[in-house]
Structure 1
Amino acid sequence: MSANLSVAAYTYEHTQALFDGRVRIDGVDAAFETASLVSDIFRRTIEGRYDIAELGLTYFLRTFDLDDAPFLALPIFPNRNFRHSAVFVNTAAGIEKPQDLAGKTIGEFALFGHDAGVWPKGILSDEYGVTVQQCRWVIGGTNHPIPAFDWIPQPLPARLDVRHASEHETLAAMLESGQIDALISVDVPQPLLNGSPKVARLFPDYEAVERDYYQRTGIFPPMHIVAVRKELAGQTDLLRSVYRAFVEAKDQAELRYLNDAPKQHMSLVTPWFSSLFEANRRLLGEDWWPYGLGANRKAVDTFLRYHYEQGLSRRPLTSRDIFVPEFLDT
């Protein structure tokens, strides 16, 4: 008899096969749900709507400070991105190098310590000596005003200067006007997309910087995991079926690009994609989007350290604390 499960994830190309039925979860009658904003999936997951769901790493980790943490994770990483490209500056703020961020007022998207913020702030500390305590912080929406995310714990380091933007302010406009000196955001500020000379990236050649970062560290930063409710954690066979299905859906997406390579990816509209594809395979390997803890342990351990150092976890967490035990050897 099939188990009935509610499952939620964003419809990436590497999860699409789960939604359209090309990949099924063995032994599970799964009702899949998505949302136009991935943060809506996070909120609904925290509110208890799903059995299994994609959840941002920081949103997931913050639940471990609750009296009864409701989730454990499967080592499935549906969203990952290099994040040197997530730091933007006002061109009149005197920020020529990362170290110049010290003492500045920095905007951050959605909450202090969103997933795309934890990574660059950790890197700024490790590699450039700039800590979160050295800056002032303004939280808000990048291109659209957003209210505070009151559905998730909001820990802050002691003696940190943090405020939320007003209900009519956007961080993009504040950056362009000089009200804030810099911005860390998953969303690209619209003035930059519009060609404003007042907004630039901290790392103009971010691709080269991010490729160098991967070559030195081996880290392709994960942003999200797949969370399961703790009451399901003991159902190993069921969870292995879930894990296999997510892996198969991802493998199908990768296989499409591999199979299109002999035809120079003529099915795609992006010019010179084949050159990019070849360069990525040389750097990232044949499975450039790996699941399982073995291939991601260093990245996960680094994020856990950053989360604690930035005051977002009360205690240092380890992989053994957060993953379903039977998946620690994946």
Structure 2
Amino acid sequence: MSDTELSLGVYRYEHTEPLFDGRVTIAGADVALHTSPLISDVFERMAKGELDVAEFGLTYFLRTFDLPESPFLALPIFPNRNFRHSALFVNVDSGIERPEDLAGKTVGEFALWGSDPGVWMKGVLAEEYGVTPEEVRWVIGGTDHPIPEFDWIPRPVPEGVEVRHTEGAQTLAAMLEAGEIDALLSVDVPAALLDGSTRKIRRLFVDYESVERDYFRRTGIHPMMHVVAIRRELAARPGLARSIYRAFDEAKTLVQQRYRDDARKQHMSVVTPWFSALFAENRALLGEDWWPYGLAANRRAVETFLRYHHEQGLSARRLTCAEVFVPELLDT
């Protein structure tokens, strides 16, 4: 029997699969792994105290620091990250041709005002295009399926920002197609756009890949959406946080190495044609460790998110890396 029993929740990504199939274990711990098709279910279980360690949306985690006592600290593990210019959709009749045209419009946002992609893109829109959150009317809901308000976390909205939730069976994708909202900021691509059944919806950044690659070249930021959080009392146990960090890093490294090795055979194990060319292009741009964990490689991105979070009224004050990460891992 190991010293510590842990309940750990994380989505079953390819880079966490080695934790599930036993190729990687967490030294010094007996781990019960939990997952869900909806990662927000894992967030909710962590927020309600049902898990010891879990993948947690970065904004969900940071909002707890305005509680009387935050129960969590973060490990510098970022299991979910994505460039989010591709997450902005517009109605073709809305008159929105450029990001600047979002000012004065009604925009849907998936799940939460100040979702993780929402924090990133609101920050980018303000910093690079001059459109601030208070210049937009916001409607929160589900993209293709109605979702209730997330009442299990703090939901601050700063003064001067207009926010409402969808009602009943309303969905943001249907509202966008009907012109009831002008744009949509969503992690989920509207189903009608994917299946080609609508001509009313398009992406704001049509060539989003070029825009996102340019963003990385200029900033060095590959935006993280989620972090791994640990309960404070467990973070105080010597060596435990570092053991968890090493396991996640080892699992991710195994998957990265598989892609490097498969390049010699032109990635015949991958079902996507021309994948080797994409892999080479990404490796040249993002580097040999294109999905880095640890604070040193991610400090600029984390500090940018912390700044955006405070500027958007989601944190009462601007938090620092030293406050939110486990002290034992500040050297990673």
TM-score (norm 2): 0.98
The CA deviation at 1:194 is: 2.5
d(CA) in 2 for partners of 1:236 and 1:109? 39
1:23 alignment partner in structure 2 = 24
1:260 partner letter? D
1:290 alignment partner in structure 2 = 292
1:73 alignment partner in structure 2 = 74
1:168 alignment partner in structure 2 = 169
d(CA) in 2 for partners of 1:236 and 1:326? 8
1:137 alignment partner in structure 2 = 138
The CA deviation at 1:164 is: 0.3
Q: Give the % identical residues.
A: 67
My pick for the range that moved more, 15-24 or 232-241, is 232-241
5+ unaligned residues in a row in structure 2: which ranges? none
The CA deviation at 1:191 is: 1.9
1:224 alignment partner in structure 2 = 226
CA offsets 1:63-98 (integer angstroms, 9 cap, x no match): 111111000000000000000001000000000100
My pick for the range that moved more, 267-276 or 1-10, is 1-10
CA offsets 1:179-227 (integer angstroms, 9 cap, x no match): 0000001111112112221000010000000000000000000000000
d(CA) in 1 for partners of 2:79 and 2:51? 17
Q: How does 1:32-51 map to 2 (within 5 A)?
A: 32-51=33-52
Aligned mate of 1:264, from 263, 266, 274: 266
The CA deviation at 1:240 is: 1.0
1:57 alignment partner in structure 2 = 58
1:125 alignment partner in structure 2 = 126
Contact conserved, 2:241 with 2:328, CA < 8 A, in 1?
no
Does residue 115 of structure 1 match 2:116?
Answer: yes
2:97 aligned counterpart, secondary structure: coil
Contact conserved, 2:43 with 2:55, CA < 8 A, in 1?
yes
5+ unaligned residues in a row in structure 1: which ranges? none
- The total of aligned residue pairs comes to 330
1:159 partner letter? G
2:286 partner letter? L
d(CA) in 1 for partners of 2:13 and 2:120? 21
Contact conserved, 1:95 with 1:101, CA < 8 A, in 2?
yes
Aligned mate of 1:278, from 280, 290, 298: 280
2:239 aligned counterpart, secondary structure: helix
d(CA) in 1 for partners of 2:222 and 2:151? 30
d(CA) in 2 for partners of 1:295 and 1:164? 37
The CA deviation at 1:177 is: 0.3
Contact conserved, 1:147 with 1:167, CA < 8 A, in 2?
no
d(CA) in 2 for partners of 1:281 and 1:97? 30
Does residue 325 of structure 1 match 2:321?
Answer: no
TM-score (norm 1): 0.99
1:163 aligned counterpart, secondary structure: strand
1:88 alignment partner in structure 2 = 89
The CA deviation at 1:169 is: 0.2
Please give the root-mean-square deviation of Cα atoms over the aligned residues, in Å.
0.7
d(CA) in 1 for partners of 2:19 and 2:80? 16
Contact conserved, 2:77 with 2:227, CA < 8 A, in 1?
yes
Aligned mate of 1:310, from 303, 309, 312: 312
1:202 partner letter? L
1:207 alignment partner in structure 2 = 209
1:236 aligned counterpart, secondary structure: coil
2:29 partner letter? V
2:258 partner letter? R
CA offsets 1:234-279 (integer angstroms, 9 cap, x no match): 1231111111000000001101100100100001110000000000
